Amino acid sequence: MTNGNQPHASGTVEPGDTSKRVGMETLRERGVDPKELREKLIDAISAEFASTYYYYTDLRMHLAGHEDYKEIAEDARLEDRAHFELLVPRIYELGGKLPDDIRDFADRSSCPAAKLPDDPTAENILEELLEAERCAIRTWSEVCDMTEGKDRRTFDMAQRVLQEEIEHEAWFVELLSMERDGEVNPAGHFVRGEPGEAPLSTNRRINDSA
């Protein structure tokens, strides 16, 4: 029971009302349209899953003879899947859902598909990987700008994804610089602890640190 001294015990959502969510009402109060945000997130995670995770599988397969490139492409591929999985629950929390048809979902992507180039040289594949990561940086920067100081939960997720996408760009800048130009352009990257570790975006169980 409240005694009148608990200012957050009630609000615009009536007790027991499951047709509304306080988490969404507080966003509206802070100037964020939950529908606009969740639609933008669907477009963003479509890019992570359909435009990169799926197509990176094919790109990685064609880096034959470049096992070091394949390993780094695999890290990026699996981490992009982690980004998809991290943000899916947030869409439902915002009252949305994934499209029923995966073809409709793929068409929502905020980035072009990272398709295998007609001439699948290592140089051309690395360039395709690089430009895909740059599109992701632009996408998640926009989500961060939209939510910073207003939606702490989405902002936290988006900025973790953004940090990993910036790392991915640096990896492929390093590899493409050497492959195409013979230029040393270090990213500071060696290997993750495990492939696709996604150190910032993977939600680990509490006992994983034991």
Tell me how many degrees the CA angle 119-120-123 measures, rounded to the nearest 5. Answer: 100
Q: Is 103 inside any structural domain? A: yes
pTM: 0.86
| Domain assignment of residue 184, yes or no | yes
Domain count, the chain: 1
Asked, for residue 100, whether it belongs to a domain, the answer is yes
Nearest CA among 148, 147, 171 for reference residue 79: 171
In a domain, residue 198? The reply is no
Average pLDDT (13-29) is 70
What does pLDDT average to over the chain? 88
Question: The domain containing residue 92 runs over which residues?
Answer: 32-188
Residue 182 lies in a domain: yes
Q: Find the mean pLDDT for residues 66-75.
A: 93
Tens digit of pLDDT for each residue in 38-58? 999 999 999 999 999 999 999
Residue 19 lies in a domain: no
Determine the pLDDT at residue 187.
83
The CATH number of the domain holding residue 184 is 1.20.1260.10
